[in-house]
Amino acid sequence: QSALTQPASVSGSPGQSITISCAGTSSDVGGYNFVSWYQQHPGEAPKLMIYEVTKRPSAVSNRFSGSKSGNTASLTISGLQAEDEADYYCSSYTSGSTPLYVFGTGTKVTVL
Amino acid sequence: EVQLVQSGGGLVQPGGSLRLSCAASGFTFSSHAMNWVRQAPGKGLEWVSYIYNTGSTIFYADSVKGRFTISRDNAKNSLYLQMNSLRDEDTAVYYCARDLGGSYSQGWGQGALVTVSS
């Protein structure tokens, strides 16, 4: 099972909206509504931002939203802020027991 | 507040062994499945292993199967990863994480660096 495909980098100016894609297959992203997104600042542990495609933990800003179409999931950050600059990883449950979960290749978000 | 405090990382020679620990607090540990996830230097996240809340179901990534053993002690609110026959490519920061819904992780440890080198 290969890693999910994400763009290596995405950038935007403060206040703009950006979207990060996460391409998988029918055995992972397309087959289940179990896509999650994680934010990781340098030297820190990942933080859950979106789960089950569209759901947002209560402590996460509503500027973050998730969606899915077919085998591709997306994370949108609206009203981009300096603190949003970080690495973002998607993840999906898979149809096999190994791996149980597959992560994306990661996207570096830069706030210009 | 969910807290996961890790210990046990370090430098080990190829072929050696190391045991990671993850002490949980702030939630009912015995009610939750747990995961180990690793991140090689400058690389992305890689899922390593999963253990059901009772320990009755366990999964491993192919890259560690037969060499790593996940376990837990619910009486001690602790998760473990026994790593044997370590290879250079096992060098990474290892994170423990609380599994929710069988589909995502919320609540991560601070990470433990494992360096495999002669």
**Residue B33's pLDDT band (boundaries 50, 70, 90)?**
very high
Question: ω before A99 within 30° of 0 (cis)?
Answer: yes
Per-residue pLDDT of chain A (112 residues; tens, 9 = 90+): 789 999 999 999 999 999 999 999 999 999 999 999 999 999 999 999 999 999 999 999 999 999 999 999 999 999 999 999 999 999 999 987 778 899 999 999 999 9
Residue B61 sits at the chain A interface (C-beta within 8 Å): yes
Query: What is the average per-residue pLDDT within B4-17?
Result: 97
pLDDT of residue A95: 87
pLDDT of residue A84: 98
Beta strands A107-111 and A9-12: pairing type?
A: parallel
Nearest Cα to Cα of residue A53 among A85, A24, A10, A11: A24
In B, which residues are within 8 Å of A51 by CB distance?
Answer: 100-101, 103-104, 106
Residue A9: alpha-carbon gap to chain centroid: 12
Query: What is the average per-residue pLDDT within B28-50?
Result: 97
pLDDT of residue A1: 73
The answer to whether the CB atoms of B45 and A32 lie below 8 A apart is no
Widest distance between CA atoms in chain B: 41
Residue A47 sits at the chain B interface (C-beta within 8 Å): yes
In A, which residues are within 8 Å of B61 by CB distance?
Answer: 98-99
Q: Measured between CB atoms, which of A51, A91, A98 is closest to B61?
A: A98
B63-115 confidence digits (pLDDT tens): 999 999 999 999 999 999 999 999 999 999 999 999 998 789 999 999 999 99
Inform me whether the pLDDT recorded for B43 exceeds 90.
yes
Residue A34 sits at the chain B interface (C-beta within 8 Å): yes
Phi-psi bin for A17: left (phi > 0), alpha (psi -120 to 50), beta? beta
